[in-house]
Structure formats: structure tokens, C-alpha cells
Amino acid sequence: MADAPYLIALALLEQNGERAMPLQGKSLREPIAADGDPGDVGRMQALELLTRVWQCSDQGALARAGGEHSLLLVAVPIEALQEALPALKARWLNSGDTAALLQELRSLGSGLWSLQQEPRQPLAFKPLLG
């Protein structure tokens, strides 16, 4: 269980002048290759996260805070959920340094993807390799 992978969907947002990073996660039976595709489980986590984000829009206009890297998936060991992930979230909320956040997520996890969608195309996972 020590190296059980966990898939986290996260959004980098600004709302009412404040940064926010809502998260959604699910434990995985098998690791995902860093250059692989998170597949249906990744799409489901993104959908659940985006539903929550959409509901937050009742409290004010939302804006992406990380450009094309505003919607991410990261595969991490379950141990990272206790200390490492909350610490890097707090650093990003305080600094807004997306480049540093991406570097920390790469070093923390076993895979990092941004979610992209071109007009009339399906959702695509773009690996963000070091």
C-alpha cells in the first residue's frame, strides 16, 4: 500500500481577486505511465472537478490562473496527500508561481498532464515532462 498511486485533478483559478486550487482525487489500482494517458479515470476526475468549479461560479466570475496549465492531472503516491500536496498547494495560493508549482508536481508524482481541448475535438491529456 505504501506505493499506491492516487490520481488528482486540480484547477488553478482566480475568483474575486483570490487564487483557488480545488482538487478531486481517486485511488488507482495500477500506476499510469508518465507519458501515458490517464484515460477514462482521468476524464471522470476532470468532470467531477469541473462540476464543482462550475458550481463555484455562483460566488463570482472565475478565471484561469495558469493559462493552458490551469487544469491538471497528477499521479502521486498516497503518502503525498497528507503533507506534500497541501504544502505545495499553500505555496501556490500564496505566490501564484505556476512554473514552480509544475516543477514541484513533477518531482512529487509519477505523471503530470494538462488537459486540453481543441474546438470539436475530444479532451486530450498532454504530458508535462521535465
Q: What is the pLDDT along the chain (130 residues), one digit of tens a residue?
A: 456 789 999 999 999 999 999 999 999 988 887 668 899 999 999 999 999 999 999 999 999 999 999 999 999 998 899 999 999 999 999 999 999 999 999 998 789 999 998 889 888 999 998 6
Count of the separate structural domains present in the chain: 1
Question: Quick one: which H or E segment has residue 63?
Answer: strand 62-64
What ranges in 57-128 are assigned the alpha helix state H?
A: 84-95, 98-108
Q: Is residue 82 part of a domain?
A: yes
- Alpha carbon distance 31, 10 (integer Å): 18
Range of the domain at 113: 5-120
8 A C-beta contact, residue 56 and residue 15:
yes
Distance, CA of 109 to chain centre: 11
Q: Is residue 127 part of a domain?
A: no
Q: Is residue 115 part of a domain?
A: yes
Handedness of CA 77, 108, 33, 12 (dihedral sign): positive
pTM: 0.90
The length of the chain in residues reads 130
